[in-house]
Chains A and B, each alone.
Chain A
Amino acid sequence: MEQTTIRFTLNDRPITHAAMPYRTLLEVLRDDLGLTGSKEGCGTGDCGACTLLLDGKPVTSCLVLAAEADGRKVTTVEGLAKDGKLTPVQVAFIRYGGLQCGICTSGFIVAAHALLESNKTPSEADVRAAIGGNLCRCTGYDKIVRAILAAAYDEGELVDESASMPVMEKPLFTEGPM
């Protein structure tokens, strides 16, 4: 089998990459391109941990072949914050405790971004529907729902005040592409 060459826009940067045609977008992003923010929780489209935006629409990237991204625009959780400044959704998740272990968080944040793109005034039911394909085992969803509603309605207040927030150092063991 031959590798196929894929040209796409990844977090606003053009990229050309060769991969075997059977490999998923999730696998290529994580293993080849070092973008490990999207997670694999099931590999079968049932947990939403691998959610990213393909041409602005949320998809479970474990079910998308890398080759399908050819000519398209891919946005992962790593591409949301601009110049280190977090989006209101990200700030809301931090401030309202919308994450615990954090393994599901990228998927929820991406799904929330997609929702708020199309619906500026979501109800609680709208929020729950938009994240309906995302599983979280830690939070019971309560604070995730509240964070997304806050991001919709208090957007102005949710500016990134990173300076006052202690940030965990990157773990010491990271080797290889991150």
Chain B
Amino acid sequence: MTAELTIVGKPMPRVDARDKVTGKAVFGVDVQLPGMLAMKVLGSAYAHAEIVSIDTSRARKLPGVVAVITGDDLPHNVELNFGSRGHSFLAKHKAFFYGQPVAAVAAVDIHTAEEALKYIDVKYRPLPILLDPLEAMKPDAPLIQHMGEGASEMSMHNADVAEDDEDHTEELDKEDIGDSDIREAAELASEAQAEAAPRNVASHIVFKQGDVAKGFAESDVVIENTYRLAQVHQGYLELQNATANWDAVNQQLTLWVSTQAQFYERQHAAEVLGLPIHKVKVITPEVGGGFGAKFGLVAPLVGLMSMKAGRPVQHIYTRHEELQASNPAPASVITIKTGCKKDGTLTAIEAKVVVDTGAYSGSPMSIICIMLAAPYKFPNIFIDGYEVLTNKQSVAAYRAPGGPNSSFAIEQQIDIMANEVGMSALEFRLLNGSEEGYTRPDGTPQPKIGLRAVLNALARHPIWKEPLGPNQGRGLAIGGWGGGRGPASAIVKLEGDGTFEVVVGTVDLTGTNTSFAQIAAEVLGLPISKIHVTRLDTETAPFGPAAGGSQVTYSMGVAVIEAAKDARSQVLKVAAKEFDTTEDDIVLDEVGLRSQSKPDKKLSWPQFQETTSGWTAKYAPVLGRGSVERRKGAPGYAACVADVEVDPLTGYVKILRVVAAQDVGKAINRMSVEGQLQGGTVQGIGLALWEEIMYGADGRVRNASLLDYRKATPRDLPLIDAVIVEQASDDGPFGAKIVGEPSIIPPAGALANAVAAATGKRIFELPLTAERIARAMGRVQEYDAMTTTAPTLTPDPSPIRGEGRGRNGRNGHGRTNGKVKTTNGRASRKATARKAR
């Protein structure tokens, strides 16, 4: 590796850009197979109901309909876990949210399939609906009970923490969390449960450090508030989709999936369809955005349909289905109390976190708890977290899952306290920001983080000198994210013309293939034009981790370095022999290789290739291999400063200026890193100002279209100034850290703080709609705007008891009621990926 970087660190156009600006790139929605059928799904007409009967006979008779499936067609050789969304891809006996798939049709075209849905007769017996997690926790609330979970079982869970250890060992990541506090946390949680016994709790966790009572007693300032965030959609523009082709002769299923993680997708589909893993092959086309939502939501149902129909089948969600029945990001209610001394030193944090996970477990509840306190040096911590079931579409990850929920709450608390003690927002955060070695809420030491470097870089930014006019305000917020860390493997092989082919199995969402090309070029000492990156499918590619947790460049980048080094050393060995010289005498360039000391010794790349792959080749083919264990982890910290102007009459927020700063370790590709910071920031702005999935009292989404679900448009925004901070990681490629996620975290807090600065009013609920702000300013006498919650409907008697044995809890899957989750954020995040889909 050369000391001076020539390619890594430069802005580079994406390697796939040419295909994408010409419309040639093939996305999942563009896949077409001969004889392919179109699929439509019939969603539950109730948010909570017993399915009494389904009659599909009329639909089957419709000309053009090839197959109709219901819960009865779920594979019989699989013991499905009905507490897990990923297993319940077709409702059986009961539906738990409006629009949950209860039947599906495959037909010769989409219009016929859609028509056929009208001929499926489903008889429901409606059950009581719970939409507000706080209502759902009340002792008299009805239970949302998945098949196989008995009421008595639920109370058992409250007590059976100790027995649960076998389950936990799967979920726990001992190395990460230091398990000392687990038992204690479990006991605490258990006590808390025994006292209050909240209902419909899918998981519960307590983080405790020091003594909060003592901390508050020593405080000069104590602030307590309740913060609410709405359910929001990840908003990827490519609708969820999958295409399946079942080969009955070989009993093999091929899936084309718009996914972030093809190896996960293969394993999940095999598991729930009862197929051996090697009989499932996943091909990932270009993916039009995922942001955490594309993990196994669609493929199993499409796979099952192709197995039944005996033909290729494609399913593409509609935008309406996306907003009504996919897997968005969770709403939460966070009550938080924080204290500090006169000199600004933080003393304690106490919080109760309620996360609305929807109809199935799988929310990032414990991450929200950890991230409330992790960015700061709180000596005393008590955080009590609940993941609560409601009759809404269940949630999944969304870019730094839960990060915005935590940040919106803690960053306003910090701002208020800074004001109280008369310190600037920046000063207060520099004083109290966490740093290496400080103990995090989960008991682990804070690794090397760049929070201070980010704040110092921001402090120098000219935005602080911009004058603010009337009704204008400036807000600052920070946020950090742990992210994923591998393992990963890659191959680098030499093609005939001297092109080095980098082969990976990771999905390229953010421009990672371009970064790999830069990395390989840098290591090989060749121009980037000599590098070609290919993503292969699960059958042919070496293992690559999920494109989630911002880990692809960070972990796979190292595998690419190793593979490129390996390839280079093989090339040098061969050349040294051929030229009868030493390896360090060899120079590689665009045309070929030569010896520096013997000018007559040179080979073009095709000539060289002859010596390793030709008919009479003397040497072994060049095949570089890189296979690396998982990294140590390289959290990314970000900060955002936003200037806003609030219309004093209407509460409308105009964004004047936005600066987004982040420590990325090393920006492998400056252009794509800037793009990540800008894109994440705007997603953060969207959920801060406009986005909210709104439910009616019947559990239907009232704004299930892009007209009514308001996303950031080009006209809402200024240019976003991205400040890249580089504090090298220990084990990332060229010092890179995770990049993709952190930038979405701070904007909500920054905007709330800016609105407070502009108006003198604090808004404690997202989105910061004009209505809410106008109301806070006293401009609206009556506020009857839409909310995410609705009263519980009158209960229908006796919720149905499911049949079959519950297997909840095994393998860490979907234990849903009353379980105390004694785990840390990372481990739970893995469990999330497994459980939720």
Contact = CB atoms under 8 A, between A and B. Distances in A.
Interface of A: 20, 22-23, 30-31, 34-44, 46-47, 49, 76-78, 80-81, 86, 90, 93-97, 99-106, 109, 124, 127-129, 131-146, 162, 164-178
A125 B739 CA distance: 30
B705 A44 contact: yes
B22 A77 contact: yes
22 contacts: A35-B23, A40-B316, A42-B706, A77-B22, A86-B22, A94-B14, A97-B675, A100-B509, A100-B510, A101-B288, A103-B237, A103-B286, A133-B713, A135-B713, A138-B289, A140-B681, A141-B714, A143-B674, A168-B15, A168-B16, A174-B31, A177-B32
B682 interface: yes
B508 to A, nearest CB: 9
Nearest to A78: B23
A174 B26 contact: yes
B23 A36 contact: yes
A34 B26 CA distance: 11
A173 B25 CA distance: 12
Most buried by B among A35, A47, A106, A143: A143
A12 B288 CA distance: 29
Contacts of A165: 13, 17-18, 529
B19 A167 contact: yes
B23 A166 contact: no
Contact of A162 (B18, B675, B720): B18
Q: Is the interface of A mostly helix, strand, loop or mixed?
A: loop
Contacts of B283: 171-173
A136 B27 CA distance: 16
A151 to B, nearest CB: 11
Given A97-B675, A139-B675, A106 B23 contact: yes
B298 interface: no
A23 B109 CA distance: 11
A145 B25 contact: no
A140 B26 contact: no
A21 to B, nearest CB: 12
B458 to A, nearest CB: 18
B26 A166 contact: no
A166 B675 contact: no
Interface string B673-686: 01100111111000
A170 B26 contact: yes
Contacts of B529: 164-166
B502 to A, nearest CB: 11
Contact of B289 (A101, A129, A141, A171): A101
B22 A78 contact: yes
A135 B682 CA distance: 12
Which of A23, A134, A140, A168 lies at the interface centre, i.e. has the most chain B CB atoms within 10 A of its CB? Answer: A140
A95 B681 CA distance: 22
A132 B15 CA distance: 28
B9 to A, nearest CB: 15
B256 interface: yes
B644 interface: no
A63 B256 CA distance: 28
A49 to B, nearest CB: 6
Contact of B287 (A34, A40, A101): A101
A166 B532 contact: yes
Interface string B364-387: 000000000000000000000000
Contact of A39 (B288, B680, B714, B719): B288
Nearest to A143: B675
B124 interface: no
B717 A38 contact: no
B470 interface: no
Given A141-B714, A141-B717, A93 B34 contact: no
A46 B722 CA distance: 28
A144 B719 CA distance: 10
A102 B319 contact: no
> 7 closest Cβ contacts across the A-B interface?
A37-B23, A103-B288, A102-B20, A140-B682, A46-B706, A176-B32, A140-B678
Chain B CB count within 10 A is highest, among A30, A145, A171, for A171
B17 A99 contact: yes
Max chain A Cβ within 10 angstroms of own Cβ: one of B26, B534, B683: B26
A90 B13 contact: no
Contact of A46 (B236, B239, B513, B707): B707
Contacts of B20: 99, 102, 105
A103 B14 contact: no
B693 to A, nearest CB: 15
Contacts of A177: 32
Most chain B C-beta atoms within 10 Å of own C-beta, residue among A46, A78, A101, A127: A101
B238 interface: yes
Residue among B17, B534, B671 with the highest chain A CB neighbour number at 10 A: B17
A44 B30 contact: no
B22 A37 contact: yes
A119 to B, nearest CB: 16
B237 A49 contact: yes
A168 B20 CA distance: 10
Nearest to A45: B707
A13 B717 CA distance: 39
Contacts of B460: none
B739 to A, nearest CB: 13
Contacts of A47: 237, 319, 706
Given A41-B238, A175-B32, A138 B714 contact: no
A42 B534 contact: no
A86 B14 contact: no
A100 B675 contact: yes
Interface in B94-119: 111
B318 interface: yes
B17 A93 contact: yes
B678 A143 contact: yes
Interface string B3-17: 000000001011111
B528 to A, nearest CB: 7
Contacts of B33: 175-176
A46 B168 CA distance: 45
Given A44-B319, A137-B289, A175-B34, A81 B22 contact: yes
A94 B528 CA distance: 16
B484 interface: no
A118 to B, nearest CB: 18
Nearest to A138: B679
